[in-house]
Amino acid sequence: MTAKLSLPQSSKMLSKDFVYGVATASFQIEGGASKRLPCIWDTFCDTPNKVVDGSNGQTACDHFHLWKEDIALIDSLGVDAYRLSISWPRVITKEGKLNPEGVQFYTNILESLKSRNIKAFVTLYHWDLPQYLEDEGGWLNRNTAYKFRDYVELISTAFGDLVHSYATLNEPFCSSFLGYEVGVHAPGKVGKEYGRKAAHHLLLAHGLAMQVLAKTSPNTKNGIVLNFTPCYSETDSAADKQAAAFADDYFNQWYIQPIYEGKYPDIINKLPIAHRPDIVEGDMEIISQPTDYLGVNFYTRAIYRYDDKEYFFQIEPPEPRTDIGWEIYPQAFTDLLVSLNEKYSLPPIYITENGASIDDVIVAGKVEDVRRFNYYQQHLNAVNDAIEKGVVVHGYFAWSLMDNFEWAEGYLKRFGIVYVDYDTQIRTIKQSGYAYKALISNR
């Protein structure tokens, strides 16, 4: 493949200050499970019929043992930054103390990144809640937010100046809605009375952690990573438009409005009392701490029609789609960034995840992932269009560095710009990876 990822010559995304990175998450790549406490994803994987291929995170990409090679791989891609997450159950004991071995694992990685001049973007929670906390109610227990604060205080102090940026949480929508409302993610709880309550405690955890980071780590860029699936109406009918607006409040604005406006969307008043979060006085002030940046994860959009029972009904995504069934619709990315920028008074945005699941094949040591290349080309342009419309974006991270454990899909979906052979743990840079490298180094 000779194609090159390109941007208009005048693009701000071609400036050396624009940060390009790759992203991963602890549970999805590390393995090394015997060296940490169990988390909710271990339990979920052990429950029959939860993960499509019946797999788990015991070995994953064995990054726990191969981290040196992996950091060299990241360096070879020429990126400015690496977004990784910390496994809470690896660094904190049941007694709430630091586990020195776990901390050392990450300190080694952070030091290696620093020596190579790669900025470390550290996510403090990417879904691997210690199982012993879930046994006490998990995110339905308000106390979990305070346990998170304590963990953040200890770990951010231990890391000192090795970190460039902290994200408190990755995608609280997924932790709360997927994990506690529809149950397709760990811990697999199902009930409308759970989702919003879990979300509130996650947002509270974010606010408490921001307060702590302001003290322990005032020199890092501290913020949060939210995912957005922009909502479109199937037709122009008032009913369909209303359905899409309701879904947008329920899935997207629910997580950002509390942070930047200190309140939940008005649809909260339409929810049955039993489904509403338990808000204690002062919570919204804690949640709406100022952030240094907003991390935005984008993959696809969703289309809704009116439904008289549930307010909205999501129709099947049209083609073209990636192999995980998500529609490819880059215009939604530009629309999203522009609309967030209009609605809120935001700090600079980093695109903290964007990428495509493609059923790659490796032939004679090469992966010609043309469809992933095209996805990146279209979505980089979409970000550039938003920047031209006045949105302040400071960086872009490809999801993901390498193929990994894709949650309820197991190892069946490949998102990497590097191919992983799970039998041999051999990594092979895909054509999209080479194209990404060329874009970065040709600036």
Smaller CB separation from ligand FCB, 243 or 414: 414
DSSP string, 327-375: B--THHHHHHHHHHHHHS----EEEEE---------BTTB---HHHHHH
Buried b (16+ CB within 10 A) or exposed e, 154-185: bbbebbeebbbbbbbbbbbbbbbbbbbbebeb
Name the residue among 77, 175, 66 with its Cα closest to residue 397. 77
Least CB distance from residue 397 to ligand FCB, whole Å?
11
Smaller CB separation from ligand FCB, 153 or 330: 330
Please identify every residue annotated as catalytic. Answer: 171, 353
Distance of CA 382 to the CA centre of its chain: 19
Least CB distance from residue 365 to ligand FCB, whole Å?
26
Smaller CB separation from ligand FCB, 306 or 397: 397
Least CB distance from residue 227 to ligand FCB, whole Å?
5
Determine contact, residues 301/232, Cβ cutoff 8 Å: yes
- How far apart are the C-alpha atoms of 399 and 418, rounded to whole Å? 11
Q: Which residue is nearest to ligand FCB (CB)?
A: 25
Smaller CB separation from ligand FCB, 1 or 182: 182
Cis peptide before 277 (omega within 30 of 0): no
Smaller CB separation from ligand FCB, 44 or 415: 415
Least CB distance from residue 86 to ligand FCB, whole Å?
14
- How far apart are the C-alpha atoms of 369 and 353, rounded to whole Å? 18
Query: Using CB under 6 A as the criterion, which residues of the chain lie in contact with ligand FCB when the complex forms?
Result: 25, 28, 170-171, 174, 227, 297, 353, 399, 406-407, 415
Least CB distance from residue 407 to ligand FCB, whole Å?
6
- How far apart are the C-alpha atoms of 265 and 6, rounded to whole Å? 39
